[in-house]
Amino acid sequence: MKLVLLIATALATAGNAQAAQRFLALPSPTAPLTASPPVGRGATALSERVHHRVTATTRVETLIDATGRPFAVFATQRLDVRVKGDYFFTVGAPLVDVEAAPGSESTPGLRSTGILWTGFNPARRTLAARATLDPRAVATSLPLRVQVADGKTTLVNATGTDAAAYSADAVRAPLVAYLDRLRSDLAAGRLPLAGSATTTGTPHPTRVHVTVPLLLRGTIGGRGVDATVRDRLVVPTTGKVELTVEPDTRPHFPALARLSGRALLQLATAVSLQAGRARQYETFLGNPDPVGKSKTTFVYRTAARRVPPVAAAPASESGRGWTTTVAWVAALAVGGALALVAWTRA
């Protein structure tokens, strides 16, 4: 009888433990957290039975005034297209103008909402475009804000956003395996896969603030800058800004062996969200190949705003216009004719 009770108790305990465990999907390390970037809702490809492999490299140059406000944005994108066949790509962007960049093997088409590429790829083709973007439409999607005031220049990381997440106790082993795989994929430049966790308690919703660290190199007022900015950096000088900015896509992990299941779930969530956010800035103009590699470098440079030409002032009312001149010529002609008639009669 006691044996039966022990078996029944063990089965009930195992059933309760199994019922308490549940699978929880981790955030996708490739999903965007906001609508932009990409600034034109990404890139698309239309083709018949052909999947082109595309590597996208983009340089975004932002011109700022003496206060740090952006007033012009240019993006030069190079698409390295592989796989033979026809291609029809649309790279979304709020365009002002676009032209072929040096080295392009085709000429881009201009649409108000994007760059159009169409043609035939014999095996490999380079498509390069220099686009003039609407600065008002893309300013809020740039990763860095520059503020110049009170004798100093403040560099603000503008990649931060909030995302929904869950907190719970969880089984350690699957999370450790997922984090190891995620770290390996990101380090190798591979597209990471989503993962899941096994919780041992009820998940509770929470919010996570996600920021992509920015690698900054360059000069401000001739003073060198070489730093990783997670929040903001104050440089105690002003002057001409020449900065190169890159999203830091490298995962930074503590020692996993010392973390509890709850802490591992928190870390896996944070790293996955950060990977997705970093991918947004790496695909600032999008890539027609959804699994293709993308790399974007941002450049900030101080420049003078272009002053529109001043229109010529209209002629003064007291001046002699063309109608007045015509009237004088006519009067002289009539006077000359009358004088001639009078002379002949005399």
Full DSSP string of 34-98: SS-SSTTS-EEE--SS---EEEEEEEEEEEE-TTS-EEEEEEEEEEEEESSEEEEEEEE--EEEE
Residue 283, SS3 per DSSP = coil
335 within a domain of the structure (yes/no) = no
Give me the sign of the Cα torsion angle 129, 132, 134, 136.
Answer: positive
The total number of structural domains in the chain stands at 1
Alpha-carbon distance 196 to 234, whole Å?
40
Structural domain contains residue 325: no
Give the global pTM: 0.83
Q: 171, 261 in Cβ contact below 8 A?
A: yes
Query: Is the pLDDT score of 327 beyond 80?
Result: no
Q: 251-282: per-residue pLDDT in tens?
A: 888 899 999 999 999 999 999 999 999 999 99
Phi and psi of 261, rounded to 5°?
Answer: -60, -40
pLDDT of residue 311: 53
Confidence of residue 305 (pLDDT cuts 50, 70, 90): confident
Give the model's confidence band at 21: pLDDT under 50 very low, under 70 low, under 90 confident, else very high: confident
CA atoms in the 13 A half-sphere facing the CB of 215: 9
pLDDT tens for each residue of 108-150: 999 888 999 999 999 999 999 999 999 999 999 999 999 999 9
Q: Which domain holds residue 225?
A: 19-302
Q: Is residue 272 part of a domain?
A: yes
Residue 238 lies in a domain: yes
Residue 7 predicted with pLDDT over 50: no
Q: What is the Cα–Cα distance from 151 to 273, expressed in whole angstroms?
A: 36
pLDDT band at 8 (very low <50, low <70, confident <90, very high): very low
Residue 275, in any domain of the structure: yes
User: Residue length, the chain?
Assistant: 346
Rounded CA-CA distance 25/47 in Å is 33
C-alpha dihedral, 284 to 288 to 289 to 294, nearest 10°: -20
- State both tokens at 82: 């592989």
pLDDT band at 307 (very low <50, low <70, confident <90, very high): low
Residue 343 domain-assigned (yes or no): no
Exposed / middle / buried, residue 198 (Cβ in 10 Å: 0-12, 13-18, 19+)? middle
Q: Is residue 202 part of a domain?
A: yes
3-class secondary structure, 236: coil
So what's the pLDDT on residue 254?
87
Mean pLDDT, residues 86-99: 95
Q: What angle do CA 186, 191, 193 make, to 5 degrees?
A: 95
How far are the Cα atoms of 31, 134, 274, 277 from residue 23, in angstroms, in the given order?
20, 45, 22, 24
Rounded percentage of the chain residues whose pLDDT exceeds 90: 75
**Does residue 156 sit within a domain?**
yes
Q: How far lies 162's CA from each of 33, 158, 273, 329, in Å?
A: 8, 12, 10, 78
Average pLDDT of the residues in 149-171: 97
Reported as a single tens digit per residue, the pLDDT across 166-198 is: 999 999 999 999 999 999 999 888 899 999 999
Q: What is the band of 306 on the pLDDT scale with cuts at 50, 70, 90?
A: confident
* pLDDT for 250: 86
